[in-house]
Amino acid sequence: MKVRKAVITAAGKSQRLLPLQTLIDWDGQEKSVLQILVEHALVADVEEVCVITWPGDETRYSQAIGAHSGRVRFVPKPQALGYGHSIYCARDFTANEPFLHMVGDHLYVSHTGKTCAQRLLALAEAEDCAVSAVQPTRETLLHLYGAVGGRGVAGSEDIYRIDTVLEKPTPTEAEQRLISPGLRAGHYLCFFGIHVLTPAVMDILGQKLAAASNGPLSLSTALADLALREQYLALEAAGQRYDIGARYGILTAQLALALSSHERSEVLSRLMELLVDRELATAAARSEG
């Protein structure tokens, strides 16, 4: 299969401003978080991007994307019916095609020559199936992420065939249902925030939405059903995800981008100067006291 489209969800009412935050990207250019995400998709050879927005945010989001706005379609989300519903709002855009999906409040920094999205698309197209990026995560953080269980694919150290998906499981649930051989004790495969999804996901979300009584629609429950219907793989991400909505999230993401750039040495030098100045000021304050 060929993945030509991407869907970025940015409709969370409490997180609407996060995609508009400005950072210095790895190439030294000042960009909004949304522009960085759109470029992440385009570098992976995606042709069109759909951004799911809170109604009324389309104009400023378009301005934040800059030169790429002509390749982006905005779809307002009319009701707050959950994460799965946000993705389902893009059903007309995806038009029965597979698609790359990213969330609008995370940034992704790769540790290899390829971006996280590039590696994910390459595997999805080669295996003709849905693939989710995952990362081994300690059990104390399970309450923050969806998680999967499955078996490693023969001949690979970082690909798993998913058989179980749980949304923010407890450590007890994970221990009982999410065993993935080869991981360190107390660690589980949690979603990284990037997926390549097949058209079957839209069908499943539509069925669940029709059966729901206006409650929140979860993506994880749809992915659990997907794992029962067709081959569904997980790829261990060679990088880090940064939640810019977390405390100091913007700062952490900016440092990560800076340290992955060609200005790494200068950034490290400035950090050292900052730390030394801080230590000297602390020592001076103690001596005066």
Q: What is the mean pLDDT of residues 82-109?
A: 95
pLDDT single digits (tens) 13-65: 778 889 999 999 989 999 999 999 999 999 999 999 999 999 999 999 999 99
Q: What domain count does the chain have?
A: 1
- Note whether 199 and 129 are within 8 A (CB): no
Given a cut of 70, whether residue 214 has pLDDT beyond it is: no
| Nearest CA among 129, 107, 138, 132 for reference residue 119 | 132
The C-alpha atoms of residue 208 and residue 204 are separated, in whole angstroms, by 6
CATH code for the domain in which residue 51 is found:
3.90.550.10
pLDDT single digits (tens) 123-166: 999 999 999 999 999 999 999 999 999 999 998 889 999 999 99
Strand partners, 161: 151, 233
pLDDT score, position 283: 84
- The parent domain of residue 202 ranges over 5-288
pLDDT category of residue 216 using cuts at 50, 70 and 90: confident
On average, the pLDDT of the chain sits at 92
pTM confidence score = 0.91
